[in-house]
Structure 1
Amino acid sequence: MKLRFTILLIAVLFHIGAYAQATPDKQSSGKILVAYFSWGGNTQKVAGHIVSLTGGTLFRIEPEKPYPTEYTPCTEVAKAEKEADARPAIKNKVEDWDQYDVIFIGCPVWWHTAPMIINTFSESYDFKGENSYSFLYLCLDLSG
């Protein structure tokens, strides 16, 4: 697990470095949002590290109804949500959405894809309009 986490973190840092070189003005503007959903804490650690490197704002995507804390029951809920194409409700909202130019979205991999709550998040905001957005979408296979 540590080796996979290290390899993934190196890949994330590579993307952040490429972003910083391509858009140094946005890097320093502080208009970066790091939104993440984490079940087991690994994605939260990576998101926190991205914030420390970019100076972005951290936003935790929290479900209104928490997922089970035990692994097997959580996988059963995740599978049922995927099969139903569910959109689990999110407890909180991003304030001042329009201020962000760059958005990182991080999450674990559940049933070979992002958890359905990520669809809820991405469908809850307008990614069109006057602002143009740059994304780095991270699905981390680190058990949450």
Structure 2
Amino acid sequence: MKRVILPIIAAVCVLGLTACGDSEKGSSSPQSSAAQTEAQQEQTTETAQSSAEDTTASQNEETEPEVTEASDSTGNDTVIVYFSATGTTKGVAERIAAVTDGDLYEIIPAEPYTDADLDWNDDNSRSTKEMNDPDARPAIAGDTVSLDSYSTVYIGYPIWWGDAPRIMSTFVESHSFEGKTVVPFCTSGSSSIGSSGSNLAAQAGSGNWLDGERFSGSVTEDEIQSWIDGLS
């Protein structure tokens, strides 16, 4: 009898444990499903918010006014054109621009001058050969400046062998100065402006050229202002 009852009791226990396990699985499954549903809802909400933000940003970009680059013309009526091989004339030109509120244009040679090119003690240096040849016209790199909108043009250069460098002749012969006031200025250690300004005026063939002035590299803006005030 005991042999019959014991297997029955064991079977009942196994069934009970299985039922409990199934019950636990059944009770945890809805919770897991709910958690997954909640996560999906949160993800959907975040996606919708992100999409809305992207749409708003896109609308803002479309409604913001476009920013355009400033045109090449500044509206100034004064321009300072200069050639500077060592930087001295450039510094003076920048001070004149600061005083006059004018535009700056640098004449850049197509073939830059080296220290050896500027050796005035060498009869075979490039600059010596150019200055000994009145017809020499060194090329200018990308000479695209237009003087049409300017009424006053300052022309600056260093003094080489008592005159303006030949590249200045290249420039003035390539542009019209009709109806413009042209003011030459130069830099040098001791040499005066001499006839360099009048020589350029003759080569230009147009414009009202004023007497020029020689400056040292240390000239101040106040000194430049006094010079400009005295121009006739």
In the superposition, the TM-score normalised over structure 1's length comes to 0.71
Match of 1:95 in 2: 145
Task: Pick which of 72-81 and 51-60 moved more.
Answer: 72-81
Whether the aligned pair in 2 keeps the contact of 1:68 and 1:74 (CA below 8 Å) is no
RMSD: 2.2
Q: Secondary structure at the match of 1:139?
A: strand
Larger Rg, first or second structure (1 or 2): 2
Alignment counterpart, residue 154 of structure 2, candidates 77, 101, 104: 104
CA distance in 2, matches of 1:43, 1:97: 20
Residues 74 and 101 of structure 1: CA distance in aligned 2, closer, same or farther (over 3 Å): farther
5+ residue gaps, structure 1: 1-28
Query: Is contact 1:101–1:134 with CA below 8 Å preserved after alignment?
Result: yes
Distance 1:54 1:87 in 2: 30
Q: Is the 8 A contact 2:82 2:106 kept in 1?
A: yes
Matches within 5 A, 1:34-53: 34-53=80-99
Tell me if structure 2 keeps the 8 A contact 1:31–1:101. yes
Note if contact 1:106-1:137 (Cα within 8 Å) is conserved in structure 2: yes
Which position in structure 1 is the counterpart of 2:133?
A: 84
Residue in 2 that maps onto 1:10: none
* Paired residues, number: 113
Contact 2:81 2:107 in 1 (8 A): yes
Secondary structure of 1:103's aligned partner: strand
Q: 1:118 & 1:87 partners in 2: Cα distance? A: 8
What one-letter code is carried by the residue in structure 2 that aligns with 1:93? D
1:65 maps to 111
2:123 maps to 1:123 = no
Percent of residue pairs identical: 35
Question: Distance in 1 between the 2:126 and 2:89 partners?
Answer: 19
Distance 1:72 1:78 in 2: 7
TM-score of the pair, normalised by structure 2: 0.45
Separation of aligned partners in 2, 1:92 and 1:74: 31
- Aligned partner of residue 140 in structure 2, secondary structure: coil
Gap change, CA 1:42 and 1:74, over 3 Å in 2? farther
Q: Is the 8 A contact 1:78 1:111 kept in 2?
A: no
Match of 2:183 in 1: 136
User: Bigger relative contact order, structure 1 or 2, given CA contacts below 8 A and separation 6+?
Assistant: 1
